[in-house]
Structure 1
Amino acid sequence: MVAQQTLSDGSGPGQVKPGSYRRRLPQTLPLTLDGMFTSVAHRFPMARAVQEGQHHLSYGEAEARAGQLASALVRGGVQLGDPVIVHCGDHRQAVVGQLAVLKAGGVCVPVPAVSRGARLDRIVEVSGARVVLCSALTRPAWSYRCMSWVLDDPATWSRIAAQRPDPALPRSGHTEAAYLLVSDADRQGVGGYLTDHRAWQLALTARIRRAGSAHDGVIVHHPPVRAATLPAMWWAFACGGTLHVPSPDGGFACSPAPKRHAAAVFGPDEYARLLQSLAADFRPASPRLTVLIGGPCPRTVIDRHAEVLPRAPLWVEFAAADGTMPWTVQKFSPGRPRPEHPGASRPVPGVHVQVVAPDGSPVPTGQTGEVRATGPALPYGSIRSADGACLAEDTAPVLASGRLGRWRRDGTLELRGPAPVPAPAAGPRNP
């Protein structure tokens, strides 16, 4: 069931068509994610955007294919703000699919390649999407759920190539929704989070300022389109670099090998498994630095990183809620003593972090409360699933991390254990 979506432009709620996540906000800045990619493609069309094993995708080829696909999506009925699912078996197809959705003015709903069954039903329910861009590998999962476009089928591209490019493209806007990330309902009953192009640009700018350019590329170690893949991908593209995808059992090794100054991006749990699998006497080709984004990072992972990659700095970005937009960050530098509290980090620009009591009031420095956050570098809206309807929040949400924390006197945030789940409200007692 697709329900009416309501979002606010600051002057009151604005009604948009069912199933749409379009925002009615002034277009103040021209740069969008797809516009950023187009700029790089025009300057360096032969540069490699994705290196996946022995296969690669150039910026020019990705730009051309995405433009063709975006035109076909518009002619196929995708309108501004419409959600479109991207569920592909390889990173090259996923990149083209995401770019096409953004160019068409749609909202990307990325789905990890391994997702199946009830997980897909929930994504359709929460997003209201009717179209999926997929691969032959993932196509069977959508046979009765959505209209599917198979991106590795030559017949699909034959039909697309026969159509003229849409002169109205691109239709994306800086303050329009770029991604809807659907997750299992959290403690607030939220089923998904909406992020606009502006939030991604703010997060990218902050990451480049603190960790440096990714013009030599970014290594990821998981199939598309996991939460950690998105920030890695756009970090590489923002700098004209290559997204390197090694084989599943290749450690950091890529084929062909990335430049020695490439960065690597992982989730904390994923990185812990990778480090654990490396033999004690094996030292993989060291990335320039490693970025962990997602939940809190255990101290054992930090210590193991120092053993395996002693020369590579480690940046730990805590990203709750949608799992892609960082709230806080901490750097562990080679040769420096590791801090007593490895979870003590500082908020990133564009994010306002709060530590609150159960009633929502701020707690004093040194006292423990639940960590929450809001700000322009975070999702601007949340989607709740209630009685089969998808309802968008009228105001920017205050995101709950589900973690306890406290402010330290040096201004850092110390993350602690999970926050207790609120007890359900007591209903009326039967006489």
Structure 2
Amino acid sequence: MLSAELRDTARPRPAARPPESARTLDGLFTRAARRQPRAVVVREGLHQLSYGKADVLSSQLATALLRTGVQLGDPVVVQCADHRQALVAHLAVLKAGGVCVPVPPDLPAGQTAAVAAVSGAGAVLCSLTTHDRWGHGGRFRRLALDDPELWKRIGARPLDRALPRSAPTEAAYLLTAAEGGLWRSGHLVDHRAWHLAMAARSAKAGPAGHTVTVADQPTGPATLSAMWWAFGSGSTLHVPPDGFVPAALGGVVAVCGTAEYPALLDALAAAPPFSPPRSVLLVGAPCPPALAARHTEVLPDTALRAEFAPGGSVLPWAVGVFAAGRDANGTGAPVVGPAPGVRLSVRDVLGDALRAGEVGEVCASGRTLPFDVIGDRAAGRPGAPLGSGFGGRWLPDGALEITGGPAPVVPGPRPYATTARTP
């Protein structure tokens, strides 16, 4: 008869749960850096950065943030001139337990005050070219990441032993977006939601592959969507110096916004023969059927995945998939299905769900979405779904047709504009 010790050993044991730090975005990156420290994480033109170097630099920068007074949950603006700086900045904020507030490098100086008011940020990770935009009477603690003197100072200090301070259910990003030319609201996304959304994308579309190419600015929605998907696969984020060019596309996944994709397709149609990308991922506004048809005409052997992510939320609410080699219907309005883990609904102005054929606002809830909205679109019933600002209606076959939008922002409470965490 087996002894008690042997019986215990023979029993099947549940799989070990990864430590909490391994279930955060920065934890995901650190695991990849330990597996392949010399692998290239960002290739930007002629410049590149390795996983190991990015991990070390971000820990040094996170220590500097803690020394400047950044506390758990504090928002930190990131406005960097290149993708390598931006990656190190994002990792540092997350490791310090802060919340990243990505801002475009070309944001006019006059709008920085609006971003500051929405986010409540008191610290900025920037470049020398954007440093002076955040003066505001000395309110901001500013660190220019292309200043060699900064790295001399922080590189000489020992790393803070409290790092990393991130947690899966804590906010990782505050994603702000300009509405009507003004920065008035933002989506809060935790580490867990981002993890789940990227895992669901990989399960449906396959892993990112060796290289993900993007031609978006360093803190844009397409870049954010591409980078964390790439890092989860240990891939390289490739940023061509002159945007998307045929020579930079062959065999990779290309990520782009729906607004920029028509110009790219026109450029590809006029280019000499080239190796097409394995797939194209569009992020942001709904993909019009005419754009999908143009994609099929120019890149007939390339699959197209269009993720509807309104309001700068980056994480997909709904998805349209167009298989390679299949004709796309170029007429009508965009038709989508819910993204994995998302529950879609169409609601009237009172927040009540509408039946098939009735037009209202497209709303959503789920674990892979932002858990809260702040600013003009904030307030409302606890537990109510997020409002997209886009109109839509259910079709008889259960698909969702996007009929228009985004709708104008109405200041003040909206009964369906915010959501509580989904357990």
TM-score class, shorter-chain normalisation, is 0.7 to 0.9
Aligned to 2:391: 404
- Please tell me the residue identity of whatever aligns with 2:52: G
Describe how 1:280-291 pairs up with structure 2 within 5 A. Answer: 280-291=270-281
Query: Contact 2:98/2:172 (CA < 8 Å) preserved in 1?
Result: yes
> Does 135-144 or 100-109 show the bigger shift?
135-144
Residue of structure 2 equivalent to 1:54: 46
Task: Compute the TM-score of the two structures, normalised by the length of structure 2.
Answer: 0.86
Structure 1 position 268 matched with structure 2 position 258: yes
State the partner residue of 2:83. 91
Matched, 1:251 2:251: no
**Change in 2 beyond 3 A, CA 1:263/1:250:** closer
Deviations 1:347-371 (A, max 9, x none): 0122111111232221112322221
What whole-Å deviation, never above 9, does each CA across 1:323-381 have from its counterpart, x for those lacking one? 30111111111222324656211101221111112322211123222211122111111
Larger proportion of helix: 2
Q: d(CA) in 2 for partners of 1:271 and 1:139? A: 31
Cα 1:90/1:348, change in 2 over 3 Å: same
CA contact (8 A) 2:335 2:401 kept: yes
Which residues of structure 2 form unaligned runs of 5+? 1-18, 413-423
Among 197, 208, 216, the residue aligned to 2:202: 208
Report what 2:154 is aligned to.
Answer: 160
Q: What is the distance in 2 between the residues matched to 1:393 and 1:133?
A: 33
Match of 1:304 among 285, 294, 304: 294
SS in 1 for 2:186: strand
Distance 1:283 1:397 in 2: 51
Mark the CA change 1:395 to 1:154 in structure 2 (over 3 Å): closer, same or farther.
farther
Within 1, Cα distance between the matches of 2:88 and 2:152?
A: 16
Structure 1 unpaired stretches of 5+: 1-26, 426-431
Distance 1:68 1:376 in 2: 32
C-alpha deviations, 1:119-166, integer Å up to 9, x for none? 211111111111111112222322336221111111000000111111
In structure 1, the partner of 2:347 is: 356
Tell me which of 358, 375, 379 is aligned to 2:370: 379
Tell me, yes or no, if the aligned pair for 1:319 and 1:327 is still in contact at 8 Å. Answer: yes
Partners of 1:283 and 1:357 in 2: how far apart? 50
> Does the 8 A contact of 1:382 with 1:393 survive in 2?
no
Residues 313-322 or 61-70, more deviating: 313-322
* Structure-2 change in CA distance of 1:402 and 1:261 (3 Å): same
Length, aligned pairs only? 390
The alpha carbon displacement at 1:261 in A equals 3.1
C-alpha contact (below 8 Å) 1:50/1:58 kept by paired residues: yes
CA gap 1:423/1:175 in 2 versus in 1, 3 angstroms: closer
Q: Displacement, 1:401? A: 1.6
User: What is the distance in 1 between the residues matched to 2:143 and 2:219?
Assistant: 17
* C-alpha distance in structure 2 between counterparts of 1:366 and 1:385, whole Å: 29
1:418 corresponds in structure 2 to 405
The residue that corresponds to 1:337 in the other structure is 327
Q: Distance in 1 between matches of 2:360 and 2:279?
A: 32
Distance 1:54 1:293, change over 3 A: same
Q: Pick 1 or 2: higher relative contact order, CA cutoff 8 A, min separation 6.
A: 1
| Match 1:111 to one of 103, 109, 115 | 103
Displacement of 1:58 after TM fit?
0.4
| 1:282 shift after superposition | 3.2
Determine helix, strand or coil for the equivalent of 2:207: coil
Match of 1:367 in 2: 358
Q: What percentage of residue pairs aligned between the two structures are identical?
A: 47
TM-score by length of 1: 0.84
8 Å Cα contact 2:95-2:166 kept in structure 1: yes
